[in-house]
């Protein structure tokens, strides 16, 4: 169990707002999985974008220019992900879903760790690293059904186009159903948590703003300041894997 002490100012207001809430949303970003050993994107030292150029790896143009480079980078990230496990923060959110009347996780993460921790209904805004899809037809294709190509890639068994990871790259639309559900949840919730996200990538970054405008009590959990910090009702400066179990304890919940 975490020894993290929640700050006393605003603690009572935080506890009473979460306890009274009928509908709660938790938006998570890369910081949620940092303590599981998965790098964030924008940390100046260890972030993926500090080492790799997103324009060469996370756009349709990059895949069209050099599909092998992009595919191999995602294969490497899949291997990294396989060595990781959910952390106490993921488990705390899974527990909250059982203890609160209506609790939804909306994640920008593609690592599937919420699912593994016991949040099977987490809304995935940016896809899932475990899946592939046809780069032409946009349909999910099981790896076992794919055709191997001479250049070390996989191809669609229906049309022969390369398979690509089923994730959302810059300039691509988010899955419509996930996006609509996320905005509906954000505009109808009573409390909204933004956890481990820099709040820089749209449209996910708009969710806390929508929630706030609709009257929700907004809580940020992040060791660093973000553009959301100034407008949040409570900011908990700490790591998700420590703050969330401490929050559960303060709410009187066992995990
Ligand atoms: C901790 C911690 C610990 C550390 N505990 N916390 C409006 C204005 C400007 C630009 C745009 C706009 N609308 C759209 C755009 C363009 C673009 C965008 O937002 N660009 C900005 C960067 C300027 N958005 C898009 O292109 C999106 N598409 C779109 O809008 O399409 C429109 C369209 C409509 C119709 C037809 C066609 C198009 C798509 C965005 C896709 C983002 N994709 C990525 C890659 C996914 C695949 C992969 O993983 O490779 O998603 S980019 C990357 O950023 C990834 C993340 O999900 C996303 C968000 O990052 P996140 O999670 O916030 O991570 P970090 O690293 O930024 O922050 C981590 C945080 O954790 C930090 O704050 C730390 O302090 C904290 N932390 N340890 C808690 N232990």
Q: What share of the chain is helix, strand, coil (3-state, %, to 5)?
A: 40, 20, 40
Domain boundaries, the chain: 11-38+85-126+172-251, 47-82+133-167
Q: Which atom of ligand 1 is nearest to the CA of 197?
A: 63
Neighbours of 197 (CB within 10 A): 28
Q: Do the Cβ atoms of 163 and 141 come closer than 8 Å? A: yes
Ligand 1 binding pocket (C-beta < 6 A) is 29-31, 34-35, 40-42, 47, 58, 108, 110, 126, 167-173, 196-198, 200-203, 221-224, 226, 239-240
pLDDT digits 0-9 by tens, 74-116: 999 999 999 999 999 999 999 999 999 999 999 999 999 999 9
Q: Is 126 a catalytic residue?
A: yes
Q: Do the Cβ atoms of 135 and 116 come closer than 8 Å? A: no
Task: Return the CATH fold of 47-82+133-167.
Answer: SIR2/SIRT2 'Small Domain' (3.30.1600)
11-38+85-126+172-251: which CATH architecture? 3-Layer(aba) Sandwich (3.40)
Check: pTM over 0.85? Answer yes or no: yes
Nearest residue by C-alpha to atom 2 in ligand 1: 31
Q: Which atom of ligand 1 is nearest to the CA of 125?
A: 57
Q: What is the pLDDT along the chain (255 residues), one digit of tens a residue?
A: 567 888 878 899 999 999 999 999 999 999 999 999 999 999 999 999 999 999 999 999 999 999 999 999 999 999 999 999 999 999 999 999 999 999 999 999 999 999 999 998 999 999 999 999 999 999 999 999 999 999 999 999 999 999 999 999 999 999 999 999 999 999 999 999 999 999 999 999 999 999 999 999 999 999 999 999 999 999 999 999 999 999 999 999 877
Q: State how far the Cα of 113 lies from the Cα of 118, in Å rounded to an integer.
A: 9
């Amino acid at each position: 169990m975490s020894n993290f002490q929640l700050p006393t100012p605003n603690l009572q207001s935080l506890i009473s707002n979460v306890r009274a809430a009928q509908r709660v949303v938790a938006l998570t970003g890369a910081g949620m999985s940092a303590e599981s050993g998965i790098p964030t994107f924008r940390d100046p030292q260890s972030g993926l974008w500090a080492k790799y150029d997103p324009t060469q790896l996370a756009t349709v143009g990059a895949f069209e220019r050099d599909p092998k480079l992009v595919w191999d980078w995602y294969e490497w990230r899949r291997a990294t992900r396989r060595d990781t496990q959910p952390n106490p923060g993921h488990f705390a959110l899974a527990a909250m879903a059982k203890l609160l009347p209506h609790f939804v996780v909306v994640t920008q993460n593609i690592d599937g760790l919420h699912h593994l921790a016991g949040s099977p209904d987490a809304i995935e805004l940016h896809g899932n690293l475990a899946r592939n899809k046809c780069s032409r037809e946009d349909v999910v294709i099981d790896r076992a059904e794919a055709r191997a190509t001479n250049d070390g890639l996989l191809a669609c068994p229906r049309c022969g186009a390369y398979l690509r990871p089923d994730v959302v790259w810059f300039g691509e639309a988010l899955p419509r159903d996930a996006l609509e559900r996320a905005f509906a949840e954000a505009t109808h919730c009573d409390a909204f948590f933004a956890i481990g996200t820099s709040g820089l990538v749209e449209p996910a970054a708009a969710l806390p703003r929508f929630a706030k405008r609709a009257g929700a009590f907004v809580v940020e959990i992040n060791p660093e300041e973000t553009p959301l910090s100034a407008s949040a009702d409570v900011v908990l400066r700490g790591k998700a894997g420590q703050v969330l179990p401490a929050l559960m304890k303060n709410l009187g919940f066992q995990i």
